[in-house]
Structure 1
Amino acid sequence: MLPGGVALPTALVTAIPSPEQSVWWLGPLPVRGYALSILLGIFAALWLTSHRSRARGGTGQEIYDIAVPTIVLGILGGRIYHVVSSPWPYFGEDGNIWDAFKIWEGGLGIWGAVALGALGAWWAARRRGLSFLDLGDAMVPGLLVAQALGRWGNWFNNELYGGPSDAPWAVQIHRMSGGEAVRDPSGEAVVLGTFQPTFLYESLWCLIVAVVILLLDRRLRFARGQVLALYLMGYTLGRFFFEIMRTDPAQLVLGQRVNVWVSVAIFGLGVALYVWRGRVGDYPARGALRPEGAPAAS
């Protein structure tokens, strides 16, 4: 109840509203909520990584030196992973193969983005004589923030939600077509219902993992690559459960969504990387972001 006895609309207190439009036009130029979320995440990741590289003895320029191949290959890898893991919209009976190239409409798989993005970062770091593991450890919190912001692109698109829910934090989902909500004869946007906001859960989880890693990195001394391993373990721990909750079509393996199994595999990889780097004992000097092969400060 607002002052003066005005009641709040029921929808505002029973569900999170979703946009009825995900594309806005500036003349002939489309502005897409999904793309804006991705771009905001990229800028946030660049800023935070630059800040962390300076704190580790770098110039802060290192991330910008490797940004182009990292971002380009990351986006390409994310799209390839999405198309391969969800092939029916493109190669199915009613699919359109050309839609696979419409990256602006959404559809990026995080593990493809991380894999090819890491390859681009490794290549660029190697060319500049920088330690890829040092840069990877510096990039991790920014990457998580980028993922958290990027997930809001799914909110704009009214997609990637869980099962029906009447919880106050459930998200209202519209039937969308061409970047706008479909409308009934009266002109009202068609609402499919209220559902578990898995995009929101994952966004908040990414921020929590980022904060935990930042706090641990300030208090503990990690070997090169161990912060990267914490990212692999921390993110997949949450993604495993969020993936099970999702109801959008997905490729199944042994009765489970393929990304459930990928999360399990990546978590195991993170554990192995953490243990291996600890046994190697390659501890960087505090405040030193040094090139590959350079001796550590005593």
Structure 2
Amino acid sequence: MSGSVTVLAAIPSPPQGVWQIGPVPLRAYALCIIAGIVVAIWWGNRRYAARGGSPGTVTDVAVFAVPFGIIGGRIYHVATDYWRYFGPGKNPWDALKIWDGGLGIWGAIAFGALGAWIGCRRAGVSLPPFADAVAPGIAVAQAIGRLGNYFNQEVYGRPTSLPWGLEIYRRIDPVTGREDNLGGVAVDGNPVAVVQPTFLYEMLWIALVVALLVWADRRWRLGHGRVFALYVAGYTLGRFWIELLRDDPATEVFGLRINTIVSAVVFAGAVAYFVAARGKGAREISGAAVVSREDAAPRA
């Protein structure tokens, strides 16, 4: 980007997203991810206990789900944007820098679900009611994580003249003087571009989804993974149109951004599960133990 853009009103970006505390870089993106995880676990514990589960179970399962989710999110991002890290002039080791490029939500959900399944098996509880309890908290964690993109000046949309456009600044490394959008500091208050604040759109959409989840769960006492399915369907519906506003480089399939296609496919799967699970009966008890076939068999 070059030059400057003058607008009557806009949302300013933070001048920087990283602060040095001695030799340690304090990254806003990492802080947002950590804050989101804390909120998700806290709210998940409360909801799980209210549904009949044992207090602290969500924390125990999170020991497995969180690291699996972080690893899966990074794998998805690197796999779908491989050209950022592999090829001529690229450094493959950059693929390990989760603060650069971030995490892909679908990899985080898929691997996080695997970690949660392992944690639930070890805790002796069923996964579907657990997923229903933590779904709203996971959504809130996503919204908090989007603030990290705001600090990093990433995941934004096309140029716009709307009064709520997001100002993007040129950042430089104060030591070397080189341009560094991720770890640098804004050189002045003149924006080089004003773009659609898609991070903000996603945060607001997630707030609506969370309200829907809480209302629907109270209204119909959803169970058997249906709250989680509703979360996935609601989020993907918003993510589909938000992706259409983005203009940053991304892998495309059939002329569409890969996350647009994934959102459509996952939305269809979530809706199908939500409808199919209607026949599974009343909401199950969250604290019910997983019973093996051997234990369930009648004894002579």
Query: Normalization by structure 1: what TM-score?
Result: 0.89
Alignment of 1:168-179 (within 5 A): 168-176=163-171, 177=180, 178-179=182-183
1:235 equivalent in alignment to 2:235:
yes
Counterpart amino acid of 1:136? Answer: A
Q: Distance in 2 between matches of 1:171 and 1:49?
A: 33
Who is 1:3 aligned against? none
1:94 CA displacement: 2.8
* Distance in 1, Cα, partners of 2:282 & 2:214: 20
Q: In structure 1, the residue corresponding to 2:75 is in which secondary structure?
A: helix
> Contact between 2:129 and 2:223, CA under 8 Å: does it hold in 1?
no
The DSSP-based 3-state class of the residue aligned with 1:30 is strand
Among candidates 152, 155, 160, match of residue 155 of structure 2? 160
Tell me the residue number matched to 1:291. 289
Indicate the residue corresponding to 2:176 in structure 1.
Answer: none
* Runs of 4+ displaced beyond 3 Å: none
Q: Which amino acid aligns with 1:86?
A: D
Q: 1:23 aligns with which of 7, 18, 21?
A: 18
Alignment of 1:273-288 (within 5 A): 273-281=273-281, 283-284=283-284, 288=286
> Is 1:55 equivalent to 2:50 in the alignment?
yes
Q: Which deviations, in whole Å up to 9, do the C-alpha atoms of 1:35-63 show, x marking residues without a partner?
A: 11111111110111011012111232011
Gaps of 5+ in 1: 1-10
Measure, in 2, the Cα distance between the counterparts of 1:58 and 1:222.
15
Partner of 1:4: none
Is 1:36 paired with 2:34?
no
Contact residue 34 and residue 106 of structure 1 kept, 8 A: no
- Identical aligned residues as a percent: 47
Deviates more, 1:235-244 or 1:216-225: 216-225
SS at match of 1:108: coil
**Letter aligned with residue 141 of structure 2:** A
The 3-state SS of whatever aligns with 1:148 is helix
Match of 1:108 in 2: 103
- Aligned-partner Cα distance in 2 for 1:40–1:13: 34
Q: Deviations over 1:233-291 (max 9, x none)?
A: 10000000011111111111000000111001100110121122112336325xx5322
TM-score, scaled relative to structure 2? 0.88
Q: Is the 8 A contact 1:151 1:203 kept in 2?
A: yes
What is the root-mean-square deviation in Å for CA atoms of aligned residues? Answer: 1.9
- Residue 123 (str. 1) matches residue 118 (str. 2): yes
Q: Could you tell me which amino acid in structure 1 is paired with residue 50 of structure 2? A: A
Q: Paired residue for 1:66, among 38, 48, 61?
A: 61
